[in-house]
């Protein structure tokens, strides 16, 4: 009898969990072949379906192109005001383009707008050649960067996603990873991805002409929380989008790949975003836990320390005001100490269960004491005696 009751309970739990999962899928929508919903600051995946399947990414390839461009800007190797020249190869790109002419020069910033707003394939190749000398070498840089980010289901063959090669692929999970890298490391991309429409000026031997860039992410017009990021479509990839939205301090990345039509990708992205905002609560500890920690055998008795930032995403409706933090320092901290050395941890818990931790690190160098310092210290103390 006990065994029968146990089996009935197990079956009931299984049925309930199955129904819940089915209801969740129904609530979000699964017309696309692959989707991922990620909380940006922590990288927490809130929802995923078929997220590791290798699929053709079309123009959302350009997210990695933008990462490389901003890498070079921030390293000082190129500047926004630098001029890049369009080659015959760049001009020959089909698909989405801004109709750059061979020999035409545009600033790096203008080309960024052409890539982010209008998804210009010709602009992408122009920037690839400007940075690496050739598109092929630039693509090698893209693949190396993808490996560094742990994008295990990704391989690029061009910088714009126009190719139909089976060897050019990524997954929804990897798109979320590179989208997060772009917006967290280079948030200035939102300066461009939120532009709905803007004109550029073509300056060629035929004279000057205006060209209007129109944003390919239509959610910018229909959803007040959307801030970008990149769309893509080819006959092979179907319809894709990586969308970033922010509300009440929660920033979400919704990736939709291989949606059946133009409207479906935006509909499913919006469903993911709405689901995330409804079920996602964000906690961030900004206190930094700055303090002076006692040390042994140093030229001074304490070292300045602080913790890294900590964030946590809850999708179960918990009261985040009940999150507790405990500072735990190493039992004995001895000089010499270098800036960045880990001297302890801040551990976080919710309702008695651990939810994460962050390092407490030294914010300065402290050298080890020697006989001279000890002699001076003793002499100083002696002189202080009345």
Distances (CA, A) of 146 to 36, 49, 150: 18, 22, 6
Sequence-distant (6+) residues with CB within 8 A of 139 are 128, 156, 157, 158, 159
Instruction: Clarify whether 119 is annotated catalytic.
Output: yes
Among the options 34, 56, 62, 233, which is catalytic?
62
Phi then psi dihedrals of residue 144, to 5 deg: -65, -45
| Torsion-angle region of 215 (φ positive above 0: left; ψ -120 to 50: alpha; else: beta) | beta
What sign results for the dihedral spanned by CA atoms 294, 297, 298, 301?
Answer: positive
Residue 179 a catalytic site member: no
Is 236 annotated as catalytic? no
31 contacts: CB under 8 Å, gap ≥ 6: 259, 260, 264, 268
At residue 78, φ and ψ (nearest 5 deg) are: -135, 165
Q: What burial letters (b/e) apply to 47-59, b meaning 16+ CB within 10 Å?
A: bbbbbebbbbbbb
d(C-alpha 151, C-alpha 100), whole Å: 32
User: For the packed helices 172-185 and 62-74, what is the interaxial angle rounded to 10 degrees?
Assistant: 30
Distance of CA 91 to the CA centre of its chain: 31
Q: Kindly report the backbone phi and psi dihedral angles of residue 384, in degrees, each rounded to the nearest multiple of 5, phi listed first.
A: -80, -15
Q: Per the residue annotation, which of 96, 119, 233, 311 is the catalytic one?
A: 119
Tokens of 376: 């001076």
Out of 59, 124, 193, 311, the active site residue is 59
Q: Are 261 and 299 in contact (CB under 8 A)?
A: no
From 63, 32, 31, 36, select the one nearest 51 (Cα to Cα). Answer: 36
User: Catalytic residue numbers?
Assistant: 59, 62, 119
């Amino acid at each position: 009898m006990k065994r029968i009751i146990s089996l009935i309970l197990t079956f009931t739990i299984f049925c309930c969990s199955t129904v819940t999962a089915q209801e969740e899928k129904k609530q979000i929508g699964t017309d696309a072949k692959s989707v991922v919903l990620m909380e940006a600051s922590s990288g927490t995946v809130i929802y995923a379906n078929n997220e590791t399947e290798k699929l053709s990414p079309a123009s959302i390839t350009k997210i990695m192109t933008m990462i490389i461009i901003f890498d070079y800007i921030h390293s000082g190797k190129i500047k926004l005001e630098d001029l890049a020249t369009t080659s015959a190869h760049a001009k020959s790109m089909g698909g989405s383009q801004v109709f750059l002419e061979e020999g035409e020069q545009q600033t790096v910033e203008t080309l960024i707008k052409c890539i982010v707003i209008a998804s210009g394939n010709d602009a992408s190749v122009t920037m690839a050649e400007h940075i690496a000398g050739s598109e092929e070498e630039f693509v090698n840089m893209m693949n190396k960067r993808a490996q560094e980010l742990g994008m295990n289901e990704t391989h690029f063959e061009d910088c714009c996603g126009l190719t139909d090669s089976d060897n050019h692929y990524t997954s929804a999970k990897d798109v979320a990873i590179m989208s997060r890298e772009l917006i967290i490391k280079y948030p200035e991309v939102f300066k461009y991805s939120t532009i709905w429409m803007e004109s550029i000026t073509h300056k060629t031997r035929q004279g000057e002409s205006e060209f209007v860039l129109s944003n390919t992410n239509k959610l910018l017009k229909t959803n007040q929380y959307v801030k970008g990021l990149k769309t893509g479509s080819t006959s092979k990839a179907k319809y894709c989008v990586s969308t970033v939205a922010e509300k009440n301090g929660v920033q979400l990345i919704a990736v939709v790949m291989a949606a059946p039509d133009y409207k479906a990708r935006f509909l499913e992205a919006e469903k993911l975003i709405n689901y995330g905002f409804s079920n996602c609560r964000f906690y961030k500890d900004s206190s930094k836990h700055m303090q002076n920690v006692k040390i042994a055998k140093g030229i001074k008795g304490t070292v300045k320390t602080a913790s890294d930032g900590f964030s946590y995403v809850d999708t179960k409706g918990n009261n985040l005001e009940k999150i507790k933090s405990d500072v735990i320092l190493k039992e004995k901290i001895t000089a010499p100490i270098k800036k960045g050395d880990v001297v302890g941890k801040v551990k976080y818990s919710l309702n008695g269960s651990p939810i994460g931790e962050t390092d407490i690190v030294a914010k300065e160098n402290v050298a080890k004491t020697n006989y001279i310092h000890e002699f001076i210290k003793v002499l100083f103390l002696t002189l202080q005696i009345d």
